[in-house]
Every structure is written in C-alpha cells, then in structure tokens.
Amino acid sequence: MSPEQPIPSNLIPDPADYGFDLDAALASVVLVRTTIPADAFTAGPLGTERGGYGVLIRGDGLVLTIGYLVTEAETVWLTLTDGRAVPGHVLGYDQETGFGLIQALARLDLPALPLGNSAAARVGDAVVVGGAGGRERSVAARIVAKQEFAGYWEYLLDEAIITAPAHPHWGGAALIGEDGRLLGIGSLLVQSSGGGGKAEDHNMVVPIDLLPPILDDMLTLGRPRRPARPWLGVYVTEIEGRVVVANLADAGPAAGAGVRAGDLILAAGDGEVDCLATFYRRVWAQGPAGVAVPLRIYRDGKARELTVPSADRNDFLKSPVAH
C-alpha cells in the first residue's frame, strides 16, 4: 500500500472523540517523496525512491520527518492536503534519534502543529497517528507501551512509544496526543505477541522530547553538536539471549575487520553481551567514533578476538544537496 491509499474505515478517527480541532491538527501533515542517487550508501537497503510523511512544526516551512526518508536525498517534494506539491531541502538528520528535518522552499500556508510533552504521555492514552490527507488517512490508536527499543542497524531508544492499532503507512506519521500536540514521529511497524500468542502489529514512534535539545544544531549544522558514536556497520539480531550478526554494511568497519554474517557476538569492550541494547551500549562506551572496539565472537566452534576500527556513520553518507 502506498501512503496515498485510504485507511480501513474502522480505524479512522472521529472528531467527536477529541477535545481539539482534529482536522486542523491533521492539516499540518504532508506527504514526503524523495529520490536518492543510485550510488548512495543507503540506496541498497532503503531504495532510491522513498515515500512517507512529515509534520509542519513551524510556520516558516520547517517539516519534521523520520530520517530514513531523507538520508542522502537529492530531491524532496512535499504534497499538501489540497494537492499542491512544493520542493523541499534537507536540512539534516540525526542518527541517534532518527529525526530528519526538511525546509519547504515555498509557502505552505498551513497551521504548524505545536510540540507536546511525550514524557507526560501515559500508556492507555488515546492518540491519533496522522497521515497526509486528513482523517481518511489517519488511525485512531492508543499508547500500548513506553519501552526501550533496539534496532538491528545500531540504533537504540531508551523509551520509544508503541501504539496500536498500527498505521499501515507509518514512516514520518504524526503522533498526536489528547491535547492536539505532537508527541512523536512514526518510525517502524513492529510486532508483539497478543492474546493466544498471535502476533499483533504496532507502530514504534520516536518521542518528540528528543527534538528540542538538538533542534538548533540541526538547523545550523545539519546534525547535533556532539561526538558521533562509534559505528561498526553490523546488522544484528537477537535470538534467545544471543546477539548474532545477520549482515554487514558493504565496505563498513566490521566487514573490513573480518566480522562475518553468522558470527555470534559474545562480548564487546570489556563486557559480555546478551541483547542488542547491551551490545550497543558496550560499543558506545569505548569512546567516540574512530575508537577501536574489541569484540569476542564465536565462529566455527571456537571463540575469536577481533578489533574493529569504528567509524562515523555520517562519513559514508552523501551530504544534503543545496538548492
């Protein structure tokens, strides 16, 4: 399903259920389309044509979205609720939070959605997961969890927001709270065990409270003014308390150091690992990007010691194209 396709009618929010102007809030959500060069580092895993949503957060055309939509983008188009399409420019993206920022290059004449307080949101709260196109492309949902989230691409949130039922077009969607303010940006579709062991689809949302501390740096520098975390270029999965290398980034540090798909990671730095979150924290505790990261792996029946010279992930990516 593409982001333009409608949501099932039973999931569409009813304005009467909310104490704010739902239609006005949803008017701030725009469709985001980007194209990425074929030789870009992320072209393989993420594709060269990407689509999702963004949210106008300032009246001057500043749009917040999820970073993977705009990473290495050479063209950006924003489609508004009334059908107008305007070009945009990528201001930057942050690998740690997952946020991306776009500057619209024409007047949008839309209301900006004010930022909320995601820390104050509670499990059980009624929310709207909003897509571009108004109510018919939005989902009435609830917060079902606030929990740690570790992604296979060396990504970790201390407290992600999990919502259900899931919006089928989640990337960049607006999580709107009970006060009509923005609580977060949709990132992923995740599955959790439901009743009877049946898997249920949920959305993982990046909480908005992570944005204000980095916003000024993102606007002026394109990324936060903090040391980059050491990046290894491994795609890992967690299987019964074990961390296993599922794949490797082409030409990434781990591939060059001899790490292989199928390796079991026993330890990083000076500590053992038993889950993705522990693995990442032990790697990041070694120092900033560029630090050598000792790994102990298990392969072909025996343990091996490897040292990976880490890198700054941003050094592998194309910079935003100026317009």
Q: Among positive and negative, which fits the CA dihedral 267, 270, 274, 278?
A: negative
Quick check: is 198 in a domain?
A: yes
Residues 239 and 253 in one domain: yes
Segments in 47-154 forming alpha helices (H): none
- Is the entire prediction scored with pTM above 0.85? yes
Tens digits of per-residue pLDDT, 225-277?
999 999 999 999 999 889 999 999 999 999 999 999 999 999 999 899 999 99
Could you tell me if 92 and 142 lie in one domain? Answer: no
| Domain co-membership, 202 together with 246 | no
Same domain, yes or no: 107 and 16? yes
**Residue ranges making up the domain that contains 122:** 118-146+158-208
Q: Are both 16 and 102 inside the same structural domain? A: yes
Q: Are residues 15 and 99 in the same domain?
A: yes
Domain match, 97 and 175 both: no
- The answer to whether residue 164 sits within a structural domain is yes
Question: Has residue 1 been placed in a domain?
Answer: no
Nearest Cα residue to 166 out of 320, 9, 7: 7
CATH number at residue 190: 2.40.10.10
Q: Are residues 138 and 172 in the same domain?
A: yes
d(Cα 296, Cα 299) in Å, to the nearest integer? 10
Structural domain includes residue 254: yes
CB 47 within 8 A of CB 38: no
What is the DSSP code (8-state) at residue 111?
P
**pLDDT range class, residue 82, cuts 50, 70, 90:** confident
